[in-house]
Structure 1
Amino acid sequence: MKGLRAMVCVLAVVPVLLVGPDAFAKTIQWKMASAWPSGTQIQWAAEFFADTVNQLSAGRFEIKSYPGGKLIGPLEVFEAARMGTIDVAHASPAYWIGKIPAGALFGYLPFGMDPVPYLTWMYDGEGLDLYQELYAQYGFGYTAPCGILPPEDLAWSNKPIKSMEDFKGLKFRTSGYWGEILTEAGASVVMLPAGEIYEALQRNVIDAGEFSIPSMDETLAFHEIAKHLLVPGIHQPSTILDILVSKKSWEALPADLQEIVKIAAQVTTLRMLTNSISKDIGALESFKDKGIDINYLDPQIQKNLYQKAVTLLDAKAAKDPYFSKVWESQKTFRARYNAYDSLMTPQYE
């Protein structure tokens, strides 16, 4: 009888030894809340990131993605990730300019860099170190760029905007530093949530407004109630999105899964850019087919507004040493990139 018992014990242990110690380990599950509305291109990036992590980890690690308002409010994700209420937030540094004025330099900046030079500065210049410094005081476990948008539409309006005079008295929906620049140009700036822009244009509560890239503006159907579209997106040539990971969640994650998070964030950044451009091409073609009047803002007006932007940003840099450090780094890199670009970009069309 003793021999039989011993054999049973051995047989019971063998399957465990054969499949290995991790075979019955539980899947690590994270909750990620974003600042983005469901169904938008920016929420697409959050979901792409989560899906990429899930696939690369082969079932060991699962991130469940929630759009803004589903789990917590869109503007609550920063504190929720910092306090560990959620594992990770997906948002943009520019959302926090109230507490971090330099956030706009890493989010969306009027007359900032286009995506290619921006990402070159970020990944192969001083950008990433300066970006980490942005969040250092808040005690996150890990932060990283996780998505970038190409240039936005400058304005949807009920009347054409073709001169600096046309900005004076214009009731314009926008936000951030661009709002300060337009105020300096004589516009009356109004801040509205994305979901209220359509009705405000329709009822002439505002004369003009901007929200995002052509494909997202198409989703919001602005072309149904505003027949004039102004480009290019000088107020937002590129928009960085990012992830903010709870310190507790990050430190509990095995090193190989931490690497998967890092890789997935970079993959998301690239794929969001190409996917957005592809969708924007189709959206602009659709606007033309629908008879939308698409106007390219006079370059001289762009130069005029650019000078206002530089004056504003220099003034902010004078009051904030960290802002100044980032702003100077970007200006230095941009000058070097422009010299490269002038030599290496063909001009045959």
Structure 2
Amino acid sequence: MDRRSLIKHAGIAGVLAAGVAPAVHAQTAVRWRMASSFPKSLDTIFGSGETFSKTLKALSGGKFECSVHAAGELMPPFGVVDAIQNSTVEMAQTAPYYFTGKNSIFAFGCAVPFGLTARQMDAWMEHGNGRKLMDAFYAEYNIKSRSAGNTGTQMGGWYRKEINTVEDLKGLKMRMGGGLFGEAMQKLGVVSQNMPAGEVYQALEKGTLDACEFVGPYDDEKLGFNKVAPYYYYPGWWEGGAELEFFINAKAYAALTPEFQAMVDAATAVAARDMTAKYDAFNPIALKKLVGAKTQLKAFSKELMDAGFKASMEVFAEHEAKSPEFKKIHQDMRAFQRDQILWGRFSEFRYDSYMTSVKL
């Protein structure tokens, strides 16, 4: 009788009584390090790394541990891909679109303008072609990917002045997370700047930035953006559902036993679900607090949304013309999105539309 059959028929007590321990107890202890692109103050995003670490340790009975290091502890926030590629660390936690300077395809691992929502992204990655396509691309960087959680649809950012028309965007110096959104906004006259979240407040305060976008109410309140930019716009059409990712060193993962690989996969799933649930639970509370502190909520006009859509489609067309791989992934995502939008007409959208019209 093999080990799995023995455990199934005798149970753990019987196995121990027979003097046969599960494989994990016979494994050599493994110690990994994870470098995050985020500060510890963001208990949602950075917290998913900590949840992963705690879950992994519990699943392995302490045989497999992964220490989690905030942005700047081991390397700069945007140095994590190089660190994975060079095997400096075994894992990273980041937003893939930070690295479109290396290749624009990185954006599809996180968010693209007018892209997928959180649930759509999860479905495309895990049951569409998303994970397969992205990991084929990431292989060039010695990376395997797993979801670290999704922010859901983000806010449109903080502005020191009102944005009523497309003309109001011209010359605006704005911090953006990265990716294709910056290229689309540049077409609308925005001066795009990519910088770590921890540096944004001071730049807004000094006036070297006119606007910024990060995530949503819960994180934005912690970072204090409402104190230096009073206008809070929505929705973030460039991030319908931003996926944060665990990047895993492919060689380190391959060197693990099948049991330890399964534990890594399970721990990432627990962490991803927890992070998304936190955002859904905490964002409404934070938004009420921000409004109570005199934050001025503003919706982007249809004119501006239409201009953003047109600029974004131009950006996608330009990249498709240069890269067959980009075109393949983009077209696959859009085909999946079309089906999701069709289904949503009969499910979530119709239900949500009605629920917003009634008093609970």
TM-score by length of 2: 0.86
What SS class does the counterpart of residue 220 from structure 2 fall into?
helix
**1:277 Cα offset (Å):** 1.9
Residue type at the aligned position of 2:166:
M
Q: How many corresponding residue pairs?
A: 334
Pick closer, same or farther for the CA change 1:331–1:50 going to 2, 3 Å: same
**Residues 148-168 of structure 1: per-residue CA shift (max 9 Å, x gap):** 211222121121112212112
CA RMSD in angstroms comes to 2.2
**Residues 172-216 of structure 1: per-residue CA shift (max 9 Å, x gap):** 222432222222112233344323322222232322221222211
Aligned counterpart, 1:264: 267
**Residues 100-135 of structure 1: per-residue CA shift (max 9 Å, x gap):** 211101112121111011111111111111121121
d(CA) in 2 for partners of 1:233, 1:262: 30
Correspondence for 2:124 among 121, 127, 131: 121
Pick closer, same or farther for the CA change 1:196–1:50 going to 2, 3 Å: same
Correspondence for 1:27 among 29, 43, 47: 29
Correspondence for 1:226 among 216, 226, 229: 229
Aligned counterpart, 1:71: 74
For the pair 1:194 / 2:187, whether they are aligned, the reply is no
Aligned counterpart, 2:137: 134
**1:171 Cα offset (Å):** 2.5
What SS class does the counterpart of residue 309 from structure 2 fall into?
helix
Residue type at the aligned position of 2:316:
L
d(CA) in 1 for partners of 2:72, 2:238: 27
d(CA) in 2 for partners of 1:24, 1:118: 38
For the pair 1:53 / 2:83, whether they are aligned, the reply is no
Pick closer, same or farther for the CA change 1:172–1:244 going to 2, 3 Å: closer
d(CA) in 2 for partners of 1:89, 1:190: 23
**1:247 Cα offset (Å):** 3.7
Structure exhibiting the larger radius of gyration computed from Cα positions: 1
Residue type at the aligned position of 1:88:
M
Aligned counterpart, 2:9: none
Aligned counterpart, 1:311: 314
Aligned counterpart, 1:172: 174
What SS class does the counterpart of residue 265 from structure 1 fall into?
helix
**Residues 49-83 of structure 1: per-residue CA shift (max 9 Å, x gap):** 11121122222211111112112222222222233
**1:343 Cα offset (Å):** 1.6
Correspondence for 2:159 among 154, 157, 174: 157
**Residues 285-316 of structure 1: per-residue CA shift (max 9 Å, x gap):** 11111111101112332122111101111111
**1:84 Cα offset (Å):** 2.2
Residue type at the aligned position of 2:149:
G
d(CA) in 2 for partners of 1:189, 1:132: 28
Q: How does 1:211-250 map to 2 (within 5 A)?
A: 211-250=214-253
d(CA) in 1 for partners of 2:173, 2:64: 48
Pick closer, same or farther for the CA change 1:81–1:179 going to 2, 3 Å: closer
d(CA) in 2 for partners of 1:21, 1:262: 19
- For the Cα contact (< 8 Å) 1:84–1:247, is it kept in 2? no
What SS class does the counterpart of residue 135 from structure 1 fall into?
helix
Pick closer, same or farther for the CA change 1:298–1:204 going to 2, 3 Å: same
- For the Cα contact (< 8 Å) 2:39–2:198, is it kept in 1? no
Unaligned residue ranges in structure 2 (runs of 5+): 1-17
TM-score by length of 1: 0.89
Aligned counterpart, 1:254: 257
Residue type at the aligned position of 1:246:
N
Pick closer, same or farther for the CA change 1:43–1:21 going to 2, 3 Å: closer
d(CA) in 2 for partners of 1:18, 1:279: 48
Pick closer, same or farther for the CA change 1:255–1:190 going to 2, 3 Å: closer
- For the Cα contact (< 8 Å) 2:84–2:142, is it kept in 1? no
What SS class does the counterpart of residue 75 from structure 2 fall into?
coil
Deviates more, 1:306-315 or 1:208-217: 208-217
What SS class does the counterpart of residue 65 from structure 1 fall into?
strand
**1:248 Cα offset (Å):** 4.0
Unaligned residue ranges in structure 1 (runs of 5+): 1-16
